[in-house]
Structure 1
Amino acid sequence: MISGYAQTGNLKDAIFLLREMLGSRIPVREGEDGLLPNKFMNKDEDSLLPNKFTFGSIVTGCARANDLRTGVQIHCDIIKFGVESDTFVAGALIDMYSKCGKVKESWNIFDQTPNKDVVSWTTMITSLANSGQHHLWDYAFKLFKDMICRGIQPVGMTFASLVKTFDAPIKLSQAKQAHGCMVKLGIEVDDLMGSALIAMYGRCGGMDEVIRLCDRINQDVVSQTSLLVAYMQNGFNLEAIDVFRKMIEEKFIMDVFVFASVIGACSMLKELGMGKEIHCLAMRKGFTSDVSVSNALITLYGRCHEIRKAQTVFQLMGDKDMISWTAILTCYSQNGYGEEALLLFRQMLQEGLSPPIFSITSAIQACSTTVSLSTGRQIHSRIVKMGSADNLSVENSLITMYAKCGSIEVAKRVFNSMTNRDIVSWNALIVGHSQHGYETEALELFNQMQKEGLRPNEYTFTGLLVSCSRVGLIAEGCRYFQLMSSEYGLEPIMEHYSCIVDLFGRAGRLHDAMEFIDAMPCEPDQLVWEALLASCKVHGNVELAKFAAKKILQMRPEDPSPYIILSGIHASLGMWDTRARFHAMMKDQGLQKEPGRSWVEAQECSEDIFDMLQVGGI
């Protein structure tokens, strides 16, 4: 009867019967619902005593009810009755402490159990796998190997728990070993186990194994969900969307996890149209009230530059978690809405939220966008108080922010104070020096970086080529451009080509710039032609300027800058009639010059935000 009560979740009645058996050995708290006071619990000395199965059933009930306090009391009586070394009781205690979040206590019981059976080993492996603590997952695999070495043959449940611990490409070899052991032992791979293996290989980057497994198991909603997530985790976003389409065609009953995952795939591809269609389908199914779906939608609209739609999704959310706040903050920051990002960051602080690292870096990035040094210093102070100033991502963001705001010396101090530096740290400082007239120092930093054995990337060379262009180091710039592919195997991107065009153009070698463009292995884009057009303006080359302007207008007919630059060139040469004709052409196209913004206005705006960020005694 005790076992029946415990299994059905009626733990109070099970405890009541146990206390009847113990004859008031466990004190009962007065006024507790469902329990009788001590005066009703007195029994004769010949009361029927509980055995190991009685205690095991009660402990199992405590595990199901997540009742640690009662579980500890029962554990004390188990020790009094001397049945704590029994494998059945020990297994129940391991499971109870594990489900109550006490992994250390689970391990102590496991370690002190003299005769461990397969249930004990499996329960302990499950405890480690379900702990949510990644550093314990390695111990689960070690325990699994120790189990086999001791001649204990694992069962299906052992593998079902173990596969959860393989979560990164570095663990692919271990995942294959565990799968191979399953095959060798003849463990049946049913649909649920097959889906778990697909999910495991997806996390570990083993897409070949994922595809092979999909051909061997039934195509149900669980396996297809695992396949969709595996595709998305490994960058196969188009394939993930195809799986979603197939699930719709097969009329599978999908949950919010599927919708959040496929919206994430659309986000990575910047597939706004498909994302909107899935958003509509999610609304029809009532899934938009789920926080994970809404978070995915905010990220999608942010990456596709649909700021207002992202705002709407955020505002309509009933329950917002930290991911929601971080998603909308990142949306603002990455799309140039620096002021909105800073105001949102202020609101987070006012509501007593503790921003995660990603939110902090987005707020710093917003300061870079608004070129707001005073606000950046304010946030830097907050970061120091929060104890996050030594985080690598935060330090890199601070270097970029101070460099963009013109405080190169402060950026250098942050850089020099770092205990660990990566390529992003070096790039931020190199580009910062390059942008503010310290081109020679930027080149020296690159030499220092090479001495430390750090491998440059595409952004490193962008900073170097800009520096060479501004100083006029043509030979040096060409050498760096060749080093990219010959020494480091990097494929030049359009920014690099435009830097070389600017390098030749600034030196007045417009013919060489044009030859370089003609020799490009890809079609030049607007950046390249804009660099050539700017050089033509400096050197007064009208014909080449017209050619470059024509190329830009073919790509962006709505861009007024080619007309403005051509007007300026002809005005500088005294060709006023031609200048007037270009102004008329721009007017006929309905284009107008965008008014400039003064530094004073930007500074006033940043000071307003600085005042607003006065939160929490800063």
Structure 2
Amino acid sequence: MDPMESTTLPSLPDKLSSHLKCRAIDPRVVHGLSFRLGCLCSTFLSNNLLHAYVSRLMIVHARKLFGVMPQRNVVTWSTMICGYAQTGNLKDAIFLLREMLGSRIPVGEVEDGLLPNKFMNKDEDSLLPNKFTFGSIVTGCARANDLRTGVQIHCDIIKFGVESDTFVAGALIDMYSKCGKVKESWNIFDQTPNKDVVSWTTMITSLANSGQHHLWDYAFKLFKDMICRGIQPVGMTFASLVKTFDAPIKLSQAKQAHGCMVKLGIEVDDLMGSALIAMYGRCGGMDEVIRLCDRINQDVVSQTSLLVAYMQNGFNLEAIDVFRKMIEEKFIMDVFVFASVIGACSMLKELGMGKEIHCLAMRKGFTSDVSVSNALITLYGRCHEIRKAQTVFQLMGDKDMISWTAILTCYSQNGYGEEALLLFRQMLQEGLSPPIFSITSAIQACSTTVSLSTGRQIHSRIVKMGSADNLSVENSLITMYAKCGSIEVAKRVFNSMTNRDIVSWNALIVGHSQHGYETEALELFNQMQKEGLRPNEYTFTGLLVSCSRVGLIAEGCRYFQLMSSEYGLEPIMEHYSCIVDLFGRAGRLHDAMEFIDAMPCEPDQLVWEALLASCKVHGNVELAKFAAKKILQMRPEDPSPYIILSGIHASLGMWDTRARFHAMMKDQGLQKEPGRSWVEAQECSEDIFDMLQVGGI
């Protein structure tokens, strides 16, 4: 203590310092009073004033006080350096660190660290930087994401021999983690001899925030190791750990972590409760989600977590109900909530509700947000509202790659192949690198337009981009070449694949079936079984179509039975219509009708259309009328039943009846849609080639 403090006012600095602990008191008031009372000569009081200024981020006042202090100790320097580091002013923090040692070397002049070696053996130990000095600067580097300065300070920490301190080690782990250097974080953690709960928690946080799924397993292993070593985790440990549980396979681990929280008495506040809801939502634990919702306050964060959890697990109606509740309770919602609930409407194809939310988003000014606009494009695309999706896309100020992919998918999935290809050209013109999903959508557009030359050019582009070995791209190429009639090329793509999934096999089986290679399609199925791949519903659709076209009635019935008996697959309407077509093509219309009567569900238009087509082939007028009547009950606006019936009567020479059906169709205001086919003229092919040349093909 100062000699003056012990002789004149021994307790006054302490009293003034005690007032600084109250956040409500402005430190400038205490500063002014201390100046009037002549107490600023007390280093203890001045340090407390300095800390008060720094903790309130009043750096200008702190610097003025620092400049007039008659005596400074290591606490003084460390506090001021910490203040600069907290506000991201690393340049002044480093300059002050050098000034502390009496050095004025400009920043960046020393390669191996920022401090010269000649000051490592300074006699006045009291003015050497300590662990708090270095820890503060490293924390500032983490905030500023300044890896270069952080590495140089790390060198100085080693020179001063404080690298083993737990506080410094924790700061270094955090700094390297935030700068994306998880390996360096682990090296420091591994080399720290005495690890406290902060070190363990910081390392777990580093792994959890890495964004690398394979490191998340290590985070849980580290957590278990921490428990085994007797280090009791804290709330922050669990807050980081819950981020790593992101799939149903990790539900058991998530429950273990939650159980450990309960056992240790960790308080589950509203924020932690919302994090747990989000965790269980990602892991598919909806029972736990509902139980947690009953135990925590219903605020906007918890309700948002609940809404997303419902969406992730397919409970889209419940997600919309949560959104309605949030509106009723007048929660202040952000763009994330709107984007999420629009996604729920998209999955349900709830166009009416989606339009209402769109209007609400416009009133709140949220449609300018990219994520909301992207969700709206997807919604309108799924609901076949192409023009609305196009309008949303055109009105967007800032478009990201998801925006381009969403509108491209909208076009390709709704049969707008030309528009999709033109959009793909625009992406290439603007220098964008299309992601895999955009590429597969462009290939799908070629399948829609049956444009083989364009498909080949896009295939060439994909090879040059280095994306040709992507599984989803290869599957799309098989489908495209098969639909364009190039079965041999589709087989070459299939045979060149290093990895194949059920989609690959289905694409080739269906391709063969569609182009008259029914026997090869059945052989492919046998080969797929030998390789141990489990077929799905789409596989059996291709098989049943092949059996129908070849006339293999017994084989087709066997495959139909095999679906449920061997693979546990419930037949869908496409499978029922295939069996009706199988019987109908063979002229066994009575068996087809018996099969329809025995169906466990009400037959839809597909089934009756299959029967009607068979009646046309075999000239069964009465059954054709019955099937046509069923179709017209479902779709009165469909002219095809009238056309087929008139054709049947014409083939039998019943011209008066044919004329009557034509008159009935005319009275209903229906007309036959003119037939169209895609003809790829030479000039059209050249135009598309020129179009893709822009992208560098």
Same fold at TM > 0.5: yes
Q: In structure 2, do the counterparts of structure 1 residues 459 and 22 end up closer, same or farther at CA, with 3 Å as the change threshold?
A: same
Residue 16 of structure 1: CA displacement?
2.9
Structure 1 segment 334-373 matched on structure 2, within 5 A:
334-373=413-452
Q: In structure 2, do the counterparts of structure 1 residues 29 and 520 end up closer, same or farther at CA, with 3 Å as the change threshold?
A: closer
Q: 556-565 or 31-40, which moves further after superposition? A: 31-40
Distance in 2 separating the partners of 1:459 and 1:578: 41
Q: Would the aligned equivalents of 2:245 and 2:251 in 1 still touch at CA under 8 Å?
A: yes
Q: Would the aligned equivalents of 2:113 and 2:153 in 1 still touch at CA under 8 Å?
A: no
Q: Would the aligned equivalents of 1:199 and 1:229 in 2 still touch at CA under 8 Å?
A: yes
Residue 153 of structure 1: CA displacement?
1.0
Alpha-carbon displacement from aligned partner over 1:487-537 (angstroms, at most 9, x marks no partner):
211111111111111111111111111111111111111111111111111
Distance in 2 separating the partners of 1:452 and 1:36: 65
Q: 1:142 aligns with which of 176, 198, 221?
A: 221
Distance in 1 separating the partners of 2:122 and 2:537: 82
Q: In structure 2, do the counterparts of structure 1 residues 208 and 63 end up closer, same or farther at CA, with 3 Å as the change threshold?
A: same
Q: In structure 2, do the counterparts of structure 1 residues 586 and 601 end up closer, same or farther at CA, with 3 Å as the change threshold?
A: farther
Residue 243 of structure 1: CA displacement?
0.6
Residue 602 of structure 1: CA displacement?
7.3
Q: In structure 2, do the counterparts of structure 1 residues 102 and 32 end up closer, same or farther at CA, with 3 Å as the change threshold?
A: closer
Distance in 1 separating the partners of 2:176 and 2:112: 25
Distance in 1 separating the partners of 2:600 and 2:140: 70
Alpha-carbon displacement from aligned partner over 1:335-383 (angstroms, at most 9, x marks no partner):
1111111111111122121111111111111111110111111111111
Distance in 2 separating the partners of 1:45 and 1:114: 28
Distance in 1 separating the partners of 2:122 and 2:647: 106
Q: In structure 2, do the counterparts of structure 1 residues 430 and 138 end up closer, same or farther at CA, with 3 Å as the change threshold?
A: same
Distance in 1 separating the partners of 2:302 and 2:101: 49
Alpha-carbon displacement from aligned partner over 1:360-419 (angstroms, at most 9, x marks no partner):
111111111110111111111111111211111111111111111111111111111112
Q: In structure 2, do the counterparts of structure 1 residues 335 and 72 end up closer, same or farther at CA, with 3 Å as the change threshold?
A: same
Q: 2:507 aligns with which of 421, 428, 431?
A: 428
Q: In structure 2, do the counterparts of structure 1 residues 341 and 325 end up closer, same or farther at CA, with 3 Å as the change threshold?
A: same
Residue 421 of structure 1: CA displacement?
1.3
Alpha-carbon displacement from aligned partner over 1:33-53 (angstroms, at most 9, x marks no partner):
999999999999899221111
3-state secondary structure, aligned to 2:567: coil
Q: Would the aligned equivalents of 2:113 and 2:152 in 1 still touch at CA under 8 Å?
A: no
3-state secondary structure, aligned to 1:364: helix
Residue 64 of structure 1: CA displacement?
1.4
Residue 615 of structure 1: CA displacement?
2.7
Percent identical residues: 100
Q: 1:68 aligns with which of 139, 142, 147?
A: 147
Q: In structure 2, do the counterparts of structure 1 residues 577 and 237 end up closer, same or farther at CA, with 3 Å as the change threshold?
A: same
Q: In structure 2, do the counterparts of structure 1 residues 196 and 603 end up closer, same or farther at CA, with 3 Å as the change threshold?
A: farther
> 1:173: which partner in 2?
252
> 2:544: which partner in 1?
465
Residue 3 of structure 1: CA displacement?
2.1
Residue 4 of structure 1: CA displacement?
2.8
Q: In structure 2, do the counterparts of structure 1 residues 371 and 5 end up closer, same or farther at CA, with 3 Å as the change threshold?
A: same
Q: 497-506 or 591-600, which moves further after superposition? A: 591-600
Q: 226-235 or 176-185, which moves further after superposition? A: 176-185
Distance in 2 separating the partners of 1:69 and 1:589: 78
Q: Would the aligned equivalents of 2:112 and 2:155 in 1 still touch at CA under 8 Å?
A: no
Distance in 1 separating the partners of 2:244 and 2:370: 26
Residue 440 of structure 1: CA displacement?
0.9
Q: In structure 2, do the counterparts of structure 1 residues 335 and 22 end up closer, same or farther at CA, with 3 Å as the change threshold?
A: same
Q: In structure 2, do the counterparts of structure 1 residues 605 and 562 end up closer, same or farther at CA, with 3 Å as the change threshold?
A: farther
Q: 192-201 or 102-111, which moves further after superposition? A: 102-111
Q: In structure 2, do the counterparts of structure 1 residues 37 and 82 end up closer, same or farther at CA, with 3 Å as the change threshold?
A: closer
Q: Would the aligned equivalents of 1:399 and 1:428 in 2 still touch at CA under 8 Å?
A: yes
Q: In structure 2, do the counterparts of structure 1 residues 460 and 34 end up closer, same or farther at CA, with 3 Å as the change threshold?
A: closer
3-state secondary structure, aligned to 1:487: helix
Distance in 2 separating the partners of 1:34 and 1:599: 70
Q: Would the aligned equivalents of 1:195 and 1:222 in 2 still touch at CA under 8 Å?
A: yes
Residue 303 of structure 1: CA displacement?
0.5
3-state secondary structure, aligned to 1:601: coil
Distance in 1 separating the partners of 2:280 and 2:691: 48
Residue 539 of structure 1: CA displacement?
1.0
Q: Would the aligned equivalents of 1:501 and 1:513 in 2 still touch at CA under 8 Å?
A: yes
Count of aligned positions: 618
Distance in 1 separating the partners of 2:159 and 2:292: 51
Distance in 2 separating the partners of 1:393 and 1:55: 50
Q: Would the aligned equivalents of 1:24 and 1:43 in 2 still touch at CA under 8 Å?
A: no
> 2:470: which partner in 1?
391
Distance in 2 separating the partners of 1:461 and 1:404: 18
Q: Would the aligned equivalents of 1:378 and 1:610 in 2 still touch at CA under 8 Å?
A: yes
Q: 1:408 aligns with which of 487, 491, 508?
A: 487
Residue 73 of structure 1: CA displacement?
2.2
TM-score under structure 2 length normalisation: 0.85
Q: Would the aligned equivalents of 1:23 and 1:41 in 2 still touch at CA under 8 Å?
A: no
> 2:360: which partner in 1?
281
Q: In structure 2, do the counterparts of structure 1 residues 488 and 607 end up closer, same or farther at CA, with 3 Å as the change threshold?
A: farther
Residue 32 of structure 1: CA displacement?
18
> 2:336: which partner in 1?
257
Q: 582-591 or 289-298, which moves further after superposition? A: 582-591
Residue 566 of structure 1: CA displacement?
1.1
> 1:496: which partner in 2?
575
Alpha-carbon displacement from aligned partner over 1:36-93 (angstroms, at most 9, x marks no partner):
9999999998992211111111111221122222222222221221111111111111
Q: 280-289 or 595-604, which moves further after superposition? A: 595-604
Matched, 1:183 2:262: yes
Q: Would the aligned equivalents of 1:52 and 1:86 in 2 still touch at CA under 8 Å?
A: yes
> 1:156: which partner in 2?
235
Distance in 2 separating the partners of 1:284 and 1:31: 57
Q: Would the aligned equivalents of 2:450 and 2:678 in 1 still touch at CA under 8 Å?
A: no
Residue 288 of structure 1: CA displacement?
0.8
Residue 106 of structure 1: CA displacement?
1.3
Q: 601-610 or 458-467, which moves further after superposition? A: 601-610
Q: In structure 2, do the counterparts of structure 1 residues 413 and 22 end up closer, same or farther at CA, with 3 Å as the change threshold?
A: same
Q: 405-414 or 23-32, which moves further after superposition? A: 23-32
Q: In structure 2, do the counterparts of structure 1 residues 319 and 48 end up closer, same or farther at CA, with 3 Å as the change threshold?
A: same
Distance in 2 separating the partners of 1:409 and 1:201: 48
Q: 603-612 or 566-575, which moves further after superposition? A: 603-612
Q: In structure 2, do the counterparts of structure 1 residues 480 and 33 end up closer, same or farther at CA, with 3 Å as the change threshold?
A: closer
Q: In structure 2, do the counterparts of structure 1 residues 35 and 428 end up closer, same or farther at CA, with 3 Å as the change threshold?
A: closer
Distance in 2 separating the partners of 1:321 and 1:302: 17
Distance in 2 separating the partners of 1:36 and 1:84: 15
TM-score under structure 1 length normalisation: 0.96
Structure 1 gap ranges (5+) = none
Q: 2:273 aligns with which of 163, 175, 194?
A: 194
